[in-house]
């Protein structure tokens, strides 16, 4: 069984929700405890949320990615203000569940995912289950779920 000292590559997926913000803050606190730890912050633009039939789809994608980068820059600023230096930010376009549970952890050798209990997409949670539930159930990486109380 791993202890908190065994984690060195910590992933904090963000989506703009209060829960994700609380999870990011927890991830920052974990990384602060050991200067060899690295923080990876990812925001995934869900392709299913984009209207793929919109004649201006390329503009819609650019706008969504620009909003994603702004969210990531705010998170990066928060992490640097906390004294972190080993920070990687990624904006992805695709399926958030697969990217957070598998793609990013495999690419960066993530050993802990710290994420909020719920996100911004209430309709998806109702119809398909939450991203958090999917990640905790299918990822090979330990997942710390943070509730914004």
| Res 78 pLDDT > 50 | yes
Q: 119: which 2 tokens?
A: 């996100």
Q: Minimum mean pLDDT among 27-36, 98-107, 128-137: which range?
A: 128-137
Bridge partners of 145?
Answer: 115
Percentage of the chain beyond pLDDT 90 is: 72
Tokens encoding 116: 């909020």
Task: Choose the CATH number for 6-95+111-146 among 3.40.50.2300, 3.40.50.620, 3.30.70.20, 3.40.50.300.
Answer: 3.40.50.620
Least confidently predicted of 1-10, 48-57, 104-113: 48-57
Task: Tell me the domain boundaries of the chain.
Answer: 6-95+111-146
In angstroms, the Cα distances linking 18 to 37, 60, 83 are: 24, 25, 22
Q: Read off the pTM.
A: 0.89
pLDDT-derived band at 47 (thresholds 50, 70, 90) equals: confident
- CB neighbourhood size of 77 (10 A): 10
What is the DSSP secondary-structure string of 17-62?
SHHHHHHHHHHHHHHHT-TT-EEEEEEEEEGGGS-TT-TTHHHHHH
């Amino acid at each position: 069984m791993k202890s908190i000292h065994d984690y060195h590559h910590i992933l904090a997926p963000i989506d703009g929700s209060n829960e994700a913000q609380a999870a990011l803050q927890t991830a920052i606190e974990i990384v602060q405890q050991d200067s060899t730890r690295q923080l990876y912050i990812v925001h995934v633009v869900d392709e299913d949320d984009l209207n793929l039939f919109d004649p201006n789809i390329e503009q819609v994608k650019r706008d969504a990615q620009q909003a994603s980068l702004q969210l990531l820059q705010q998170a990066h600023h928060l992490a640097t203000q906390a004294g972190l230096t080993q920070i990687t930010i990624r904006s992805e376009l695709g399926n958030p569940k697969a990217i957070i549970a598998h793609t990013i952890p495999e690419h960066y050798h993530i050993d802990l995912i710290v994420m909020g209990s719920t996100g911004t997409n209430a309709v998806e949670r109702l119809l398909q289950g939450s991203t958090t539930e999917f990640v905790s159930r299918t990822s090979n990486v330990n997942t710390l779920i943070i509730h914004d109380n």
